[in-house]
């Protein structure tokens, strides 16, 4: 990373204790950013991520809240901004899926996925954006979408809708924040080796990809790391796919 790198810049990564979120937190920690690793329930996994960042010479702390809980986000994040000042960057990675064919999808499955994946965008960013603007330091926001949000996927109408909404929300917010030098982009992973696809036939799924393999969390994290670099300061409102050539 060129210029000042992450020196003195604090970044929140939601869902940062496992999978892609963990890889992103480690990537940004190596780049010199001070990390707040958000988690909802797995304190041990969050502590392990923080320890690994610190072992590599970085700075990190765990921050517990549920992105689907609007009041909790407002309280916890306002408290954190008051304690340590505004964040310079935010990575919205936390998300869930609850798959079923649409005719048998339960209302609570629809609501839970949309509340976490899409409402989480509002719940987390709403308390953080104005402090970022008032700091006059620019900044970065990266939203993790999914190939399902671009191409759709059977059995994932709720998940695909939430992830498509995130791309539109990121592009719209990018227009609002561009003159503040705060970039907002979406990273769109394809089939990645994470807990989300455990129990599936990974080898067969890999054959669906032109590169004939699943992606790795570190490859998604590298794209996020680039968007946080000085070299990406003129990139905003984009949806960058990391999918081995699927789209």
Q: Does residue 32 come out as left (phi exceeding 0), alpha (psi in the -120 to 50 range) or beta?
A: left
> For the chain, how many helices (H) and strands (E)?
9, 7
Instruction: Using alpha carbons, select from 46, 185, 67 the residue that is nearest to residue 127.
Output: 67
Is 234 tagged catalytic? no
Tell whether the torsion through CA atoms of 51, 132, 126 and 181 is positive or negative: negative
- Non-local (6+) Cβ contacts of 28 within 8 A are 6, 11, 13, 35, 89, 91, 224, 225, 228
Exposure string (b/e) for 143-164, b if CB count within 10 Å is 16 or more? Answer: bbbbbbbbeebeebbbbbbbbb
DSSP strand E in 54-150: where? 59-64, 89-92, 139-144
Candidate list 39, 122, 159, 234, residue with the active-site label: 159
**Neighbouring C-alpha atoms within 13 Å toward the C-beta of 142:** 32
Q: Which residues are catalytic?
A: 159
């Amino acid at each position: 990373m060129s210029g000042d790198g992450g020196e003195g810049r604090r970044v929140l990564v939601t869902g940062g204790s496992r999978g892609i979120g963990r890889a992103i937190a480690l990537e940004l920690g190596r780049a010199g950013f001070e990390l707040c690793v958000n988690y909802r329930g797995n304190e041990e996994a969050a502590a392990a991520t923080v320890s690994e960042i610190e072992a590599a010479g970085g700075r990190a702390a765990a921050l517990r809240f549920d992105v689907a809980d609007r009041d909790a986000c407002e309280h916890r994040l306002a408290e954190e901004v008051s304690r340590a000042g505004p964040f310079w960057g935010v990575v919205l990675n936390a998300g869930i899926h609850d798959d079923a064919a649409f005719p048998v999808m339960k209302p609570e499955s629809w609501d839970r996925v949309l509340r976490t994946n899409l409402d989480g965008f509002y719940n987390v960013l709403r308390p953080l954006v104005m402090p970022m603007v008032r700091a006059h330091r620019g900044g970065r926001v990266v939203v993790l979408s999914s190939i399902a949000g671009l191409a759709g996927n059977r059995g994932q109408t709720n998940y695909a809708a939430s992830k498509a909404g995130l791309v539109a929300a990121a592009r719209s917010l990018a227009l609002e924040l561009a003159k503040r030098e705060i970039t907002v982009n979406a990273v769109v992973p394809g089939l990645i080796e994470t807990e989300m696809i455990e129990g599936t036939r990974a080898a067969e799924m890999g054959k669906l990809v032109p590169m004939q393999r699943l992606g790795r969390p570190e490859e998604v994290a590298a794209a996020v790391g680039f968007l946080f670099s000085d070299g990406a300061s003129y990139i905003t409102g984009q949806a960058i796919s990391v999918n081995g050539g699927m789209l």
